[in-house]
Amino acid sequence: MLEMKTIKKKFYIADFEEEQEFLSSLHNAGWRLTDIKGKRYSFEKCDKEAVIYQIDFNPKEQRKSEYVQLFIDFGWKFITEKDDRFYFSKPGLQCSEDQIFSDHETKMVMCRKIIKRKLAQLITLSVISIIISCVLAFNMFHYSLFPLGIIFIVSLIWLGALILTLYSTKYLTGFFKLKKIMDKSVN
């Protein structure tokens, strides 16, 4: 029976280069990626090989089979798809086309898609936190818990601001990382 293992790890979309490295290094150590469910990466014991892993972020893909077929034609093995991220691998020996993006412009197109997604997430989170604050504040006043309510609201606002700042920091770091990738020439 094949030996299996799972590793729990969280990668944000902007960290796709780190994620690729992580998967390659595991394959180098004899663990082949088989599936990803949420934060759980499943691996299967295999020979220690140099294998390149590449992630393509491709939201709103209507015709997945045609999209995947093109990559298969180019010698890529399709592993799995998670949150619009498509995972491909290829033995490292075929050195000529070892990256899915051979020019800067098309890699930038993918980075822009990621930025758009991150921005959408940030806006959604902001709207949700504002709505929650409003509802809570309204309830506090409605039940005339005025003095206690004020303290509660202040602490809630503080908490909300904290969460938002933390999220923005994460968002900004991701953004700067993407900008760095976009500035860096592919070749």
Partner 1 sequence: MPMTETSFYILFALQDEMHGYNIMNYVKILTKDEVALGAGTVYTSLSKMEKDGLIVLVKKESNRKFYKITDLGREILETEILRIERLYKNTRAYEGRE
b/e 90-114 (16+ beta carbons within 10 angstroms → b): beeeeeeeeebeeeeeebbebbebb
Q: Does 93 bind partner 1 (CB under 8 A)?
A: no
For partner 1 (CB under 8 A), the number of binding residues is 24
Residue span binding partner 1 (CB under 8 A) among the ranges 39-47, 93-101, 125-133, 174-182: 93-101
Strands 51-57 and 31-37: unpaired
Q: Does 54 bind partner 1 (CB under 8 A)?
A: yes
Contact residue for partner 1 among 25, 28, 106, 173 (CB under 8 A): 106
Contact residue for partner 1 among 4, 49, 97, 179 (CB under 8 A): 97
Residue 56 bridge partners (DSSP): 86
Residue span binding partner 1 (CB under 8 A) among the ranges 42-50, 59-67, 116-124, 154-162: 59-67
- For residue 32, give Cα distances in angstroms to 18, 29, 46, 49, 113: 17, 9, 6, 9, 28
How far apart are alpha carbons 135 and 148 in whole angstroms? 16
Given the rule CB under 8 A, which residues bind partner 1? 54, 56, 65-67, 69-71, 73-74, 76, 88, 96-97, 99-103, 105-107, 109-110
